[in-house]
């Protein structure tokens, strides 16, 4: 059966591509072997940020090329990179508070709460909310809200205050993970136990077993999962 075709405009140029294609599939169908603006192809890496307008709609929308299905008359341009200077830091020397952001990301305080970043986010993250959390010094909330960020960069491209939201997000999460999240005592204990050789003899026993002995111990082990 012949596939129904739709017309799309790739950086302004007209192509006919199969209905149901994602933007990445459409680019490849048109004949481009992609090297930039493509990555995991499953919506996890953020390499394929794309802006588009749909026919009859004045709105400029953002999406991931690998996750957005083309529609008849869609005009598409990829934004494979966002120019932004990433501040350099030693996490060890930072404190988990708003002062760190004042020093490293002074632009974050330019936020005018217009919510354009949130509207641009293909992950439906409440981007403006986490920027506001940072301004309030609530890094836990910033870390949690920004958690699903894949650094596609569309927020920073649309921001009228020229904030680089995703770089703020990763720093908030790292500060939270290192300094603010409660530590697991079991983990620290186990690290010490391994260092002190508590399991060396047990492991040595397994290393010395032949295949049959190992198989027997394996199938006899008690399964305790919840």
Partner 1 sequence: MYPEYMMESIKKVAETRAKRLEIARKYGKKVFPAMSEQERADILNTYHPDYKDDALKEVRIGPNKGDKMINEVADIIEAYPRNSSSTFDLSKIDYETDVLVIGAGSAGLSAVLEASKKGVETMLVTKLRLGDANSMMAQGGIQAADQTDDNPYLHYLDVVGGGHFDNKKDLVEALVMDAPQSIKWLEELGVMFDKNEDGSMMVKPGGGTCRNRMHSTRDYTGAGICRVLRDEVQSHPDGINILEYTSATELIKDDKGQVAGAILYHMELKEYFIVKAKTVIIATGGFGRLHIRDFETTNHYGATADGLVMGYRAGANLLYMDSVQYHPTGAVFPEQIVGFLCTEKIRALGAQPVNKDGELFVFPLEPRDIEASAFIRECEDDKGVSTPTGLKGIWLDTPLIEELSGEGTIESVLPAMLRQYSRFDIDIREYPMLVFPTLHYQNGGLEINAKSETSIPGLYVAGEAAGGIHGRNRLMGNSQLDIIVFGRRAGKNAAEKVLNGVELGELSIKHADEYAKEVEKLGIDKKRISPILLPDYIPNHVKAKQLTTIYQGTLY
Q: Cite the DSSP H helix spans in 95-210.
A: 98-104, 116-120, 127-136, 139-145, 154-158, 165-175, 185-195, 200-208
Residue 13 sits in the site that holds partner 1 (CB under 8 A): no
- The smaller minimum CB distance to partner 1, of residues 14 and 40, is found at 40
Distance in angstroms (rounded) separating the CA atoms of residues 216 and 205 = 14
Site string for partner 1, 39-78 (x = CB under 8 A): xxxxxxx-x-------------------x-x---------
Residue 7 sits in the site that holds partner 1 (CB under 8 A): no
Residue 11 sits in the site that holds partner 1 (CB under 8 A): no
Chosen residue from 101, 105, 130, 176 binding partner 1 by CB under 8 A: 176
Per the document, the length of the chain is: 226
In the complex, minimum distance from the CB of residue 136 to partner 1, in angstroms, rounded to a whole number: 19
Closest among 32, 91, 16, 92 to 65, alpha carbons compared: 32
Site string for partner 1, 17-36 (x = CB under 8 A): ---xxx--x--xxxxxxxxx
Residue 9 sits in the site that holds partner 1 (CB under 8 A): no
Contacts of 80 (CB under 8 A, 6+ apart): 36, 37, 47, 48, 49
- The smaller minimum CB distance to partner 1, of residues 91 and 113, is found at 91
- The smaller minimum CB distance to partner 1, of residues 58 and 219, is found at 219
Residue 38 sits in the site that holds partner 1 (CB under 8 A): yes
The token pair at 205 is 């026993």
Q: Hey, which residues between 92 and 111 contact partner 1 (CB under 8 A)?
A: none
Task: Tell me the C-alpha to C-alpha distance, in Å, between residue 60 and each of 54, 57, 71, 213.
Answer: 8, 8, 14, 65
């Amino acid at each position: 059966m012949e596939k129904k075709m739709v017309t799309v405009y790739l950086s302004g140029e007209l192509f006919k591509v199969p209905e149901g294609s994602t933007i990445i599939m459409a680019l490849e169908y048109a004949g481009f072997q992609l090297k930039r603006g493509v990555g995991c192809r499953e919506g996890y890496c953020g390499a394929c940020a794309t802006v588009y307008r749909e026919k009859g709609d004045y709105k400029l929308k953002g999406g991931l090329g690998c996750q957005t299905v083309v529609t008849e008359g869609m005009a598409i341009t990829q934004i494979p990179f966002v120019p932004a200077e990433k501040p350099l830091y030693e996490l060890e020397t930072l404190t988990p508070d708003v002062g760190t952001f004042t020093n490293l990301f002074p632009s974050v305080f330019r936020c005018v709460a217009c919510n354009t970043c949130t509207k641009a986010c293909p992950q439906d993250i409440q981007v403006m909310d986490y920027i506001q959390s940072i301004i309030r010094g609530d890094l836990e909330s910033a870390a949690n809200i920004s958690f699903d960020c894949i650094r596609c960069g569309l927020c920073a491209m649309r921001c009228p205050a020229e904030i680089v939201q995703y770089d703020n997000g990763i720093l908030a999460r790292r500060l939270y993970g290192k300094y603010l999240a409660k530590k697991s005592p079991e983990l620290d204990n186990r690290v010490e136990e391994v260092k002190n050789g508590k399991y060396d003899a047990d492991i040595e026993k397994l290393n010395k077993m032949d295949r049959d002995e190992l198989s027997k111990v394996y199938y006899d082990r008690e399964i305790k999962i919840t």
